[in-house]
Amino acid sequence: MQRRAFLQWSAVAPAAFATVTTDIPKYRTVSKYQPHPYKGFPASVVSVHSAKSIDEATEKVDPQTVRQMIERGMTALTGESTPAAAWKRFFAPSDVVGIKVNCSGAPRIMSHPVVVADIVRNLLAVGVKPEQIYIYERFPDQLESVKYGKYIDQKVNIHAVEMSRGSILNYDPETFVEVNFFGEEDTRSNLVRLVSEKFTKIINVPNMKDHGAAGVTGCLKNIAYGNFSNVARSHAHEKTNTKTFIGTLASMEPLKSKTVLNIMDGLKGIWHGGPFQLKNEFGFFPKKMMFGTDMVAMDRLLIDVIENKRKAEHARSVWDRSRDQLITSRSSDPNKNQFIREPGHIEYAAGLGLGEYDINKIRLQEFEI
């Protein structure tokens, strides 16, 4: 990563949305980092399904099946003949790797520790030392509830960013997005300091979830809201700013360039009430994992996963913007919501150069284990 000092002071607005300026808050992005030329595998997504990956009754995950799913996903994504060769396409022994897990709904829904453990195993096989691997999340209570330490080498770092909720101590004071959504006093969202100063690569490990504000939460939201401070302000009101804020954050350097791989853990998902699991029946079991470097393409496919499940459950579409669904607090009624959902954040992110949104241009490879 080159670190030639430069600043991005521009308001971020992709050309495709340039005429809809009234909907786009004035974002000021400040970063001294430049993009890395790595392109990955644009518009390519590998989906691996296995009926035996998780037991629906006990929610016990089968490590051997997960291992096979990850092997298949990684070799298919890269075109390499062995898992080792596939992982070497992304990582070298000198890398310091952050694994961005999602624990916002833990301990009921999270990047499963069996999945994360197999990712760690593959990094170790490449030669990355355990001390150079960081499993990280913003909030310690959520992270600790998963107990990743039971599944991995004890030398692997497990790191929570905000040791006291709201503290910006572990965020980079010189890499941030500044925006005033509704007159809030603290208008900055700063990048996790480990991301800018320590990690050389990031693996993004989201789940497949509905999200009350963003519509769905997958790659983009996990990497965006999981790496910046002071983001909940974007959904302080029923009409949220998630549509533009998620992509704006995800496109910030060096986060964008360092996020080289996305492994979406869809063994279990949430079809309503996300990011949490408010009721047992809102959990479901896609029993699949998706692999890719294109966050937009993966999230575009995620919309269909969540939307189809909601349709099967006779719940409102994530695209429904009618006001009669609005209520003032979280609800276990799948046809009520606190916010107008913004699944359009994925197409918006495509406009920022984060990936391919057109379903007809996404090359999906599907496998069954």
CA distances from 108 to 7, 22, 146, 283 (A): 41, 39, 9, 9
DSSP readout, 47-109? EEE-TTSB-TTT--B-HHHHHHHHHHHHHHHH--SSHHHHHHTT--TT--EEEEE--TBTTTB
At 60, the amino acid letter reads K
Residue 213 CB, nearest distance to another protein (Å)? 11
Task: Using DSSP bridges, classify how beta strands 171-178 and 363-368 pair: parallel, antiparallel or unpaired.
Answer: unpaired
Shortest distance in whole angstroms from residue 338 CB to another protein: 9
Q: Minimum Å distance from CB 166 to another protein?
A: 7
Binding-residue total with another protein (CB under 8 A): 26
Which of 56, 173, 353, 366 touches another protein by CB under 8 A?
Answer: 173
Distance of alpha carbon 12 from its chain centroid, rounded? 21
Q: With binding defined as CB under 8 A, does residue 149 bind another protein?
A: no
Give, as ranges, the residues between 314 and 333 that touch another protein (CB under 8 A): 329
Smallest distance from the beta carbon of 335 to another protein, in angstroms? 22
* Stretch near another protein under the rule CB under 8 A, chosen from 68-76, 203-211, 226-234, 255-263: 226-234
Supply the minimum distance, in Å, between the C-beta of residue 232 and another protein.
5
Instruction: Work out whether 182 is an interface residue with another protein (CB under 8 A).
Output: yes
Among 188, 198, 336, 363, binds another protein (CB under 8 A): 188
Residue 186 contacts another protein per CB under 8 A: yes
For another protein, give the closer residue by CB, 44 or 241: 241
Do residues 44 and 361 touch, judged by C-beta distance below 8 A?
no
CA angle 329, 330, 335 (to 5 degrees): 110
Any contact of residue 309 with another protein (CB under 8 A)?
A: no
Looking at the Cβ atoms of 112 and 159, the one nearer to another protein is: 159
Name the residue nearer to another protein (CB basis): 233 or 268.
Answer: 233
Instruction: Lay out the site mask for another protein across 336-355 (x = CB under 8 A, - = otherwise).
Output: --------------------
Q: Tokens 């294109």 belong to which residue?
A: 294
Considering the complex, state which of residue 81 and residue 329 has its C-beta at the smaller distance from another protein: 329
Q: Is 183 exposed, middle or buried (0-12, 13-18, 19+ CB in 10 A)?
A: exposed
Of 39, 183, 280, 322, the one binding another protein by CB under 8 A: 183
Give the DSSP letter of residue 235.
G
- Binders of another protein among 116-145, rule CB under 8 A? none
In angstroms, rounded to a whole number, what is the distance separating the alpha carbons of residues 263 and 203? Answer: 7
Query: For residues 75 and 190, which CB has a smaller minimum distance to another protein in the complex?
Result: 190
| Closest CA relative to residue 59, chosen from 119, 105, 122, 121 | 105
Q: Which is nearer to another protein, 39 or 165 (CB)?
A: 165
Task: For residue 69, give the nearest of 134, 122, 148, 128 by alpha carbon.
Answer: 122
Site track for another protein across 153-172, x = CB under 8 A: ----------xx-xxxxxx-
Residue 39, C-beta contacts closer than 8 angstroms, at least 6 positions apart: none
Residues near another protein, by CB under 8 A: 163-164, 166-171, 173-174, 180, 182-188, 190, 232-237, 329
